[in-house]
């Protein structure tokens, strides 16, 4: 696993942002990842998967950390073509792209 990550919080999900930030920071620390930034999305975010992947690339991160899988939305499997996803239940690794 690389040493840089970004965090992700979906603001329209239950819970509060400080608690979500704590979970993200603890996961990063446990995996010895440098947390570059935490990005937020909501139901109004235009092209959220593209936004998240672009934020990860801009930060030089290969992993996106979230408090749970719901924060990624239904397109989380597409995100694994670009980066790994880390949630409290474990890492969903980046999938290799087929030629």
pLDDT value at residue 68: 95
Positions of the chain with pLDDT lower than 70, given as ranges: 1-2, 99
Residue 20: CB partners within 8 Å, gap ≥ 6?
Answer: 9, 67, 71
pLDDT value at residue 99: 67
CA separation for the pair 30, 24 (Å, rounded): 10
Exposed, middle or buried, 13 (CB in 10 Å: 0-12/13-18/19+)?
A: middle
Q: Residue 57: name the closest of 41, 77, 39 by CA.
A: 39
pLDDT value at residue 28: 97
> What structural domains does the chain harbor?
4-92 (3.40.50.1390)
pLDDT value at residue 2: 58
pLDDT value at residue 7: 98
pLDDT value at residue 32: 96
Residue 55: CB partners within 8 Å, gap ≥ 6?
Answer: 6, 37, 39
């Amino acid at each position: 696993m690389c040493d840089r990550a970004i965090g992700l919080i979906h603001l329209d999900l239950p819970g509060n942002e400080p608690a979500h930030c704590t979970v993200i920071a603890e996961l990063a620390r446990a995996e010895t990842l440098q947390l570059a930034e935490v990005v937020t999305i909501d139901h109004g975010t235009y092209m959220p998967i593209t936004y998240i992947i672009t934020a990860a690339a801009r930060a030089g991160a290969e992993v996106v950390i979230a408090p749970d899988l719901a924060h990624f939305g239904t397109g989380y499997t597409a995100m694994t073509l670009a980066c790994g996803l880390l949630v409290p239940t474990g890492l969903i690794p980046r999938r290799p792209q087929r030629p």
